[in-house]
Amino acid sequence: MKAVQVSKAGGEFEVVERPLPEPGPGQVRVKVEACGICHSDAFVKDGAFPGIEYPRVPGHEVIGRVDALGPGVDAFSAGQRVGVGWHGGHCFRCEACRAGDFVNCSNAQIAGVSYDGGYAEYMVAPAEALARVPDALDSAEAAPLLCAGITTFNALRNAGARAGDTVAVLGIGGLGHLAVQYARKMGMRTVALSHGPAKEALARELGAHDYIDTSAGDPAEALQALGGARIILSTAPNSAAISAVVGGLGRDGCLLVVGVDGAPIEVAPLQLIPGRHSVGGWPSGTPKDSEDTLDFSARFDVLPRIETYPLEQAAEAYDRMLGNQARFRVVLTMGG
Ligand code: ZN
């Protein structure tokens, strides 16, 4: 099979021929149809994640069809369409798993990080990492829902906002353009925030009721003028921009971060105390959460805007993602 691997930390993407991987006990071989390129793939490319063994095939936004079942797998059948996201498997034995908290499994695996992922014609994954994919979704469009989609959908649905509450989405990129659609379709009064006026038309097209250009004034004041936000979902990888909106929270408001920046977020205690505000984070979710994301997306017509590239052009596609040029998610497709 053809695969795209990185053979050392900081190495280039290499298109290579590899033997077809065989599924072991509890594993499934997936014939990959599409794999999204995520900013987190940089962990593999740059070696910025502990314990990665090289060569490694990245990719954790995978849609494909079950191709072969390892011993003991009976929950899936050949030809069935499935997805693999960031959460790439769990042990069922540790304390977190015994409490049903698979995301925090002490032995959690990450697809495309702990084992080879979806930048390939085939991949092998543990059966518990697979999500079922609704027929209504196109494979290339469904792929980004397994990371960008589940992260924003799951964060929003667990954030405690109710229909009619104000949800502000900071950053209208790969995650944010999905978050705006989810918030709107979940019944929220939806506000999009982005630097500059360029994203306004798109944000409104995606369902935003209001748009705040964060470069045009104090974004916190602008949010307060709209009554304050019950949830500010920050998808922006920019802690200074995040700190600037904390003052836009309304009563019992929560700033929820899903975009990563190394710098600290600055919050003064008095920004939190009177309005009972909180700051939190949310990590994607389980394969069941992926299924819920895919089902919701299919029913309510939430789709990512994507650019597709053939597998062989992974390096070019990755650079487009990294250079912030992609509108809005880049997806590799495996011809035929
Ligand atoms: Zn990702």
CA–centroid distance, 151 to ligand 1, in Å, is 9
CA–centroid distance, 332 to ligand 1, in Å, is 14
Report pLDDT for 336: 52
CA–centroid distance, 199 to ligand 1, in Å, is 23
CA–centroid distance, 284 to ligand 1, in Å, is 9
- Angle at Cα 231 formed by Cα 265 and Cα 280, nearest 5°? 40
CA–centroid distance, 102 to ligand 1, in Å, is 18
**Element spanning 149, H or E:** helix 148-157
CA–centroid distance, 303 to ligand 1, in Å, is 16
pTM score over 0.85: yes
CA–centroid distance, 86 to ligand 1, in Å, is 6
How far is Cα 225 from Cα 99, in angstroms, rounded to an integer?
A: 43
CA–centroid distance, 53 to ligand 1, in Å, is 19
Report pLDDT for 262: 87
Nearest CA to 333 out of 319, 304, 315, 312 is that of 312
133 Cβ contact list (under 8 Å, min separation 6): 63, 81, 82, 83, 139, 142, 294
Report pLDDT for 143: 98
CA–centroid distance, 220 to ligand 1, in Å, is 29
CA–centroid distance, 129 to ligand 1, in Å, is 15
CA–centroid distance, 147 to ligand 1, in Å, is 5
Report pLDDT for 46: 96
Low-confidence ranges of the chain (pLDDT < 50): none
End-to-end Cα, the chain, rounded Å: 13
The bridge status of strand 13-17 relative to strand 166-170 is unpaired
How far is Cα 42 from Cα 39, in angstroms, rounded to an integer?
A: 6
CA–centroid distance, 317 to ligand 1, in Å, is 15
Domains in the chain with CATH codes: 2-147+285-333 (3.90.180.10), 149-281 (3.40.50.720)
CA–centroid distance, 32 to ligand 1, in Å, is 17
CA–centroid distance, 60 to ligand 1, in Å, is 6
CA–centroid distance, 216 to ligand 1, in Å, is 31
Q: How many Cβ atoms from other residues are within 10 Å of residue 163's Cβ?
A: 8
Report pLDDT for 313: 97
Report pLDDT for 56: 98
